[in-house]
Amino acid sequence: MSKASAVMDVGVGKKRVNPIRELWQNKFLYLLALPAIVYTFIFSYLTLPYIAIAFEKFNYKTGIMSPFVGFSNFEYFFKSSWAWTVTRNTLVINILFLLVGTVCAVVLAIVLNEVKAKRFLKTSQSMMLFPYFISWVIVSYMLQGILGTDTGLVNNMIVAAGGSRINFYSTPSYWYPILLLLNIWKNTGYNTIVYLAAITGIDEGLYEAAYIDGATRFKRIIYITIPLLTPTICIMTLMSVGRIFYGDFGMLYAIIRDNSSLMPIAEVIDTYVYRTFKNTGDPSLSMAIGLYQSVVGFILVFTANWIVRKKFPEGALF
Amino acid sequence: MNATVMAAQPSTPNNKIKRSTGESIGTFFIYLVVFLFAVMCILPFILVIIVSFSSEKSITLNGYSFWPSEWSTAAYNMLFLPSSAVPQAYLVTGISTVFGTLVATFITFGAGYTLANRSCRYRNGLSLYFYVTMVFSAGLVPWYMMCKSLNCYDNIWALIVPSLMFNPFNMFLVRNFVRGIPAELNESAKIDGAGEVRIAFSIFFPLCLPVLATIALFYAIGYWNNYFNAVMLVNNEDYYSLQMLLFKIQSEITALSNLSAGAMQTVNPPKESFKMATSVITMGPIIILYPFLQKYFVKGMVVGAVKG
């Protein structure tokens, strides 16, 4: 992914430029970029002043000029038991996805690389990529069809085998495995693309030499593919580590929704911010929680990018 | 990492050398694993399609099943009843997807092209300007307030403009792609007397089609599958997108599609199969366009991701 490619040009001219002349000379170029610049300005930079709400007692009449209350919104959040719960859930879910997801994607890429029948490879790859294009809302429908208590596929099988029905949707302990499986099922095909591309980029001569020297397939994978794939794995992992403080709202809200029996394990910061906003109608409190996420998230993303830049200059984003 | 990664699958070094039995068994297992995972990936969709064609009686009797005891198209008939909200949602989603994707792709091309152009002295500053928004965002509440103050609320613009219309990640994909095109092309066109507009749209735009197809797909899928904007910004049911409708139907099926209006005579309105039928027609365009879609998707991902 281009996350893994340098954003900045190297070796820019150090000469001072006259801004007006530069803008006039390249007016067409700047005009082309203008819509994106304006859009980003409005939806990113202009939203920054609203952060002040986190330190205020928001009132819809006074808007952003509401009375200042210092850190009391943060205090309220960090004193509630939810602060720890949602932070832990976000981290646990993301780390689980990251670790198992990466292993699955890498293994699948290596396995796919061993498939020599082209048609078979293409067909199976398209099948694996398909879930990626389907929305989480539809996935939540399927999941109900599979896990539903009265009509679900799994429960039908359990009953047919003589067992008694399991109410998945009210038993939190099943849900980390379920969410993990869902995530792997939906994203592995997509995540594999980058790794497979990196593997197919490995010099074919290495494999030939190893083959002639009598290395088995297993040895070729262990001693050639995996070492040469390591930089890509590191870059991709670091990038994901940077995003570890952001939960997958689209996934979790579609699947968990307002199911309060699953919230203790599946409520993440993003869904909690939304729920606080919706249920209490208090923008100040949810802004405070959101700011907590943004700041910690920023530190993580920035650090991850910094490490990538130091260790893998060719893959640095910035 | 280099740019020619997709060029060729490595061919087996020496087909004539006899493989050991161990390796042949290994090959068998590799094919088996790939096959099983691929099947697992599409099996749930097949279930959805089958259930959408099952009669409600067989669903209540046997639950979801790959072999319903009775087939029926009642659910599909219901989708197109006058009281159904689905056609309206389809229209809303279709309009926002087509319009949004076109605008988004154009905006992204413009910015990516400029940022890749060496005569633009501020390109690094601009890169930073866009990059900052990728690592820090103020979050949900400011976003919501901004949308409200721009009047992107309870209308079709709420589904088109906020969040979805520009993504810096896609812009960097375009920029990296344009950078891969030799700069001499630009110079020689200039010498031949082509204006800047011409260079951008008659020369570079066609060359960028592969990456533009990819980002257009990103955007289109983003629009089509988005329910977040509708959840946040739309209360008026006339502007429910398909995903939003599905999202709502799941809990309160009767409220939206007003089943009783047309389905009074059926004692048992096809609730479950109706949900699945709605899912099927929501996936419809993706399934139909899929072969084309995934070809460009894989290509573009690789082109943009793997820097030469």
Contacts of A18 in chain B (CB under 8 A): none
Shortest distance, CA A232 to any CA of chain B (angstroms)? 9
Nearest to B131 among A4, A194, A318 (CB): A318
Task: Judge contact between B96 and B241, C-beta under 8 A.
Answer: yes
The model's pLDDT over A165-203, given as tens digits with 9 standing for 90+, comes to: 999 998 999 999 999 999 999 999 999 988 998 898 888
Task: Judge contact between B201 and B140, C-beta under 8 A.
Answer: no
Q: Are B48 and A194 within 8 A, CB to CB?
A: no
Q: What percentage of chain A exceeds 70 in pLDDT? A: 94
Contacts of B302 in chain A (CB under 8 A): 193, 197
CA B17 centroid distance within chain? 45
Contacts of A253 in chain B (CB under 8 A): 231
How many residues does this entry show for chain A? Answer: 318
Give yes or no for B111 touching A (CB within 8 A): yes
If residue A142 lies in a helix (H) or strand (E), which one and from where to where?
helix A136-147
Contacts of B44 in chain A (CB under 8 A): 131, 139, 142, 145-146
Residue B288 is predicted with a pLDDT of 87
**Is the confidence at residue B268, as pLDDT, over 60?**
no
Q: Are B111 and A2 within 8 A, CB to CB?
A: no
The residues that bridge with B71 in the sheet, in sequence order, are B54
A vs B: CB pairs below 8 A: 325
Q: Which residue has the higher pLDDT, B1 or B271?
A: B271
Q: How far apart are CA A158 and CA A296, in angstroms?
A: 44
Nearest to B133 among A44, A152, A290 (CB): A44
Contacts of A3 in chain B (CB under 8 A): 169
**Is the confidence at residue A107, as pLDDT, over 50?**
yes
Burial class (CB in 10 A: 0-12, 13-18, 19+), B131: middle
Could you tell me which chain A residue has the CA closest to the CA of B174?
A: A2
The model's pLDDT over B170-227, given as tens digits with 9 standing for 90+, comes to: 999 899 889 888 888 888 888 988 888 899 999 999 988 888 988 998 899 999 999 9
The model's pLDDT over A224-248, given as tens digits with 9 standing for 90+, comes to: 999 999 988 988 888 888 889 999 9
**Is the confidence at residue A28, as pLDDT, over 60?**
yes
The model's pLDDT over B84-132, given as tens digits with 9 standing for 90+, comes to: 888 999 999 999 999 999 999 999 999 999 999 888 888 889 999 998 8
- Distance, first Cα to last Cα, chain B: 7
Shortest distance, CA A173 to any CA of chain B (angstroms)? 23
Could you tell me which chain A residue has the CA closest to the CA of B295?
A: A126
Contacts of A241 in chain B (CB under 8 A): none
Sorted by where each begins, the domain ranges of chain B are: 23-82+258-305, 86-233
Least confident of A4-13, A137-146, A227-236: A4-13
Shortest distance, CA B244 to any CA of chain A (angstroms)? 8
Shortest distance, CA B291 to any CA of chain A (angstroms)? 8
Residue A3 is predicted with a pLDDT of 41
> What mean pLDDT is reported for chain B?
83
Q: How far apart are CA B167 and CA B304, in angstroms?
A: 14
Q: How far apart are CA B130 and CA B132, in angstroms?
A: 6
Phi, psi of B287, rounded to the nearest 5 degrees: -65, -45
> What mean pLDDT is reported for chain A?
88
Q: How confident is the model at residue A65 (pLDDT cuts 50, 70, 90)?
A: confident
Q: Are A249 and B131 within 8 A, CB to CB?
A: no
Please give the sequence-ordered ranges of beta strands (E in DSSP) within chain B, or none if there are none.
none
Fold of B86-233: MetI-like fold (1.10.3720)
CB atoms within 10 A of CB A44: 22
Please give the sequence-ordered ranges of beta strands (E in DSSP) within A154-217, or none if there are none.
none
Give yes or no for B149 touching A (CB within 8 A): no
